[in-house]
Amino acid sequence: MYTTIKTVQRNFVTDPDRWSGQSLYFNSLFSGKWGDKQEDGSYFVETDAHIFEHILRYLRTRVLPVFYDREKGHDFALYQAVLEEAKYFQIDRLVKWIGERKYLEAVQVNILATESQDRRTYKKHTRSDLDRRTFMVEDRYVEMTTSGNMETTMIPMAHRRSVFYCPNGKHGKSTKENCSGCTKQASDGKVNVNGGWRGEDQMSWCIVRKEVVFDHDLCVNAYSDDAQP
């Protein structure tokens, strides 16, 4: 049978027959022992409506609450407020859940940080008079696949590294091995040396993946043997 529970801020309409057995306070309130029933059949409860909303939701669903936000983390102030009301209403299972901080086990945050790397490949060309390896540095890019439960952040980073340039300018940015002939020509004075090793800034990315895993089964089953009949 639907009953109205009144607070200072707002009223709640609920069916106590479906959940009152979980709270010793409400067991006594609805039994008529206290004589608190109003003329219109409602009951007044001295509580904060914002906090009582969470109390009533738990009583109705029997799912233990988790107050977690991706950006802010756990709302410890709200846990404390609900805990005090759970003690007042004598809801033992909810008191244990918050008092023992069991809710911390319901949320697991997995963080993986990786750094993007140069994608270097080479082709090996074999001819009768030449065995040559040509290195190709592809354009830098990052390809990622994430789920809706994963948050990805990319942080740019600059690194100083040494880069080899072809001494006679034919091959541009290359490798010392690939330009061994050009290096010999430069050392013999046959070409103007305008290459060799140079220091260059290189951009890479630190990729941080954050995944929040929520254990709903724990919220449903924790302390289930302790629930009041």
15: CB partners within 8 A, 6+ apart: 1, 2, 3
CB-CB neighbours of 214 under 10 Å: 13
Provide the percentage of residues in the chain whose pLDDT is more than 70.
79
Residue 113: pLDDT band with limits 50, 70, 90: confident
Tell me what pLDDT residue 144 has: 55
Residue 145: pLDDT band with limits 50, 70, 90: low
| CA distances to 52, 168, 196 from 185, in Å | 85, 8, 13
Place of tokens 């993007």: 116
Per-residue pLDDT, averaged over 168-187, amounts to 73
pLDDT, greater one: 209 or 192? 209
Q: Is the predicted pLDDT of residue 47 greater than 90, yes or no?
A: yes
For 214-224, how does the pLDDT look when each residue is reduced to its tens digit (9 = 90+)? 999 999 999 98
Distance, in Å, from the CA atom of 160 to the CA atom of 141, rounded to the nearest integer, reads 19
Per-residue pLDDT, averaged over 160-164, amounts to 80
Tell me what pLDDT residue 154 has: 78
174: CB partners within 8 A, 6+ apart: 135, 164, 165, 166
Tell me what pLDDT residue 190 has: 61
For 5-14, how does the pLDDT look when each residue is reduced to its tens digit (9 = 90+)? 999 999 999 9
Nearest to 191 by CA among 172, 168, 169: 168
- What ranges in 175-215 are assigned the alpha helix state H? 180-187
Per-residue pLDDT, averaged over 99-118, amounts to 86
Tell me what pLDDT residue 198 has: 77
17-26, 63-72, 187-196, 209-218, range with the lowest pLDDT: 187-196
Q: Kindly report the average pLDDT of the chain as a whole number.
A: 81
pLDDT, greater one: 141 or 111? 111
Structure tokens at 95: 């008191």
Kindly report the CATH number that applies to the domain delimited by 3-100: 3.30.710.10
In sign, the C-alpha dihedral spanning 100, 106, 108, 109 is: negative
Residue 193: pLDDT band with limits 50, 70, 90: low
Could you tell me the pTM of the whole model? 0.66
Q: Is the predicted pLDDT of residue 119 greater than 90, yes or no?
A: no
pLDDT, greater one: 22 or 167? 22
> Which contiguous run of DSSP H or E holds residue 51?
helix 49-61
CB-CB neighbours of 88 under 10 Å: 14
